[in-house]
Amino acid sequence: MVNPHHDGTHPDASARTDRTVVVTGGTDGMGRAVVLGRAARGDRVLAVGSNPRKGERLLADAAASELADRIEFLAADLSTLAGNRAVIDHVTATYESIDGLVLAANRQSPRRVETSDGFESTFALYYLSRYLLGHGLISALSAGSKPVIVNIAGVGLTSGKIHWDDLRMGRRYLTIAAQLQAGRANDLLGVAMAAEFGEQVPYVLYHPGFTRSGDSAMEQVGPLTRAVIKTVAAIAARSVERAIAPVHAFLDSPPRVPLTAVDRDKPVPLDLKTLDPADAKRLAEATSAMLAAAEPTADPREDGLR
């Protein structure tokens, strides 16, 4: 679904800028705040989300703030290959270049859910979509002015592991184990992307810490667990505004090095064990093989999925 007020191609001349930012998870929590904040700064923003009703609310709030001509909403299920393909196709057909890609889509699942492509849903949404969109939009980013990719995940944490012999977690599934595996996979994704593309498009791994973000991450969590999390969040969590301030800083002034890792305002040493280049290469090869098996005629290395 696209913003009915703005087709993303011909914004009002008075609001036109030279910057375009794509934000996944853009209708809730930190992603939503980034979308509205970038639009307020004068950027054109494509907000990607899976819930059309949340998209409509985002557009309504944008209109109320006189930002409707700067924000476009695209509904897409990023846990599927088709959903990621739709985003890549839309962006490359609509924009000559993009200047920022903010990856914020994530959702917890208390039980193992297999996507239509045969992947475990947390792995598919939290990691695979970021792999696909990063690769699929790299040409558009390379054509941008001071481009950057910001991956909002859990860099700096060392708990959890990659289940190399069971990436789909078919033998034993636990919610936290699935989240941690995808988080560690994103760490390695940043290392691999920076090694291949970082001189042209710097890559930022950013862990905002415990944040009072939106409801989407808890939509599948039971009412008791949800109540406990909300209670703790009210006391201990960061505000969304504080959590996304570094994201705006990365977009405004991209780092001059291929890879930057920040955990709650503190730099993460790039020799941390979770950022091992050999593991990054291993995961990249495993991911490419998984995608090739899911879509035998596709070449995910060329433009994301085609």
Q: How far is CA 93 from each of CA 87, 97, 258, rounded to the nearest angstrom? A: 10, 10, 27
277: which 2 tokens?
A: 């280049």
Look at residue 232 in the predicted model and tell me its pLDDT. Answer: 43
End-to-end CA distance of the chain: 22
Q: What percent of the chain has a predicted confidence (pLDDT) above 70?
A: 82
Look at residue 295 in the predicted model and tell me its pLDDT. Answer: 83
Question: CA 176, CA 133: separation in Å to the nearest integer?
Answer: 24
106-140 pLDDT, tens digit each: 999 999 999 999 999 999 999 999 999 999 999 99
Look at residue 106 in the predicted model and tell me its pLDDT. Answer: 96
DSSP for 42-75, written as a single string: T-EEEEEES-HHHHHHHHHHHHHTT-GGGEEEEE
pLDDT greater at residue 258 or residue 210: 258
200-242 pLDDT, tens digit each: 999 999 999 986 565 555 455 556 444 444 544 454 568 999 9
Q: Is the model's pLDDT at 85 over the cut of 60? A: yes
Q: How far is CA 12 from each of CA 60, 69, 160, 187, rounded to the nearest angstrom? A: 18, 7, 47, 39
Closest listed residue to residue 239, CA positions, set 213, 265, 217: 213
What values do phi and psi take at 172, rounded to 5?
-150, 120
Answer for the pair 199, 154: CB distance below 8 angstroms, yes or no: no
Residue count of the chain:
306
Average confidence score pLDDT of the chain: 88
Partners of 267 in the β-ladder: 262
Answer for the pair 226, 218: CB distance below 8 angstroms, yes or no: yes
Residue whose entry in the numeric block shows the structure tokens 């914004």: 11
**Pairing verdict, β 203-207 and 259-263:** parallel
Out of 86-95, 187-196, 229-238, least confident range: 229-238
| Residue/partner pairs of 250-253 with CB below 8 Å, 24 or more apart | 250/148, 250/150, 250/204, 250/206, 251/21, 251/38, 251/43, 251/99, 251/100, 251/102, 251/148, 251/150, 252/41, 253/146
Look at residue 238 in the predicted model and tell me its pLDDT. Answer: 83
Question: CA 156, CA 169: separation in Å to the nearest integer?
Answer: 23
Answer for the pair 83, 76: CB distance below 8 angstroms, yes or no: yes
Q: Is the model's pLDDT at 194 over the cut of 50? A: yes
Average pLDDT over residues 236-264: 93
Q: What percent of the chain has a predicted confidence (pLDDT) above 90?
A: 80
Q: How confident is the model at residue 163 (pLDDT cuts 50, 70, 90)?
A: very high
Q: How confident is the model at residue 298 (pLDDT cuts 50, 70, 90)?
A: low
Q: How far is CA 216 from each of CA 130, 193, 221, rounded to the nearest angstrom? A: 18, 27, 10
146-157 pLDDT, tens digit each: 999 999 999 999
Look at residue 210 in the predicted model and tell me its pLDDT. Answer: 80
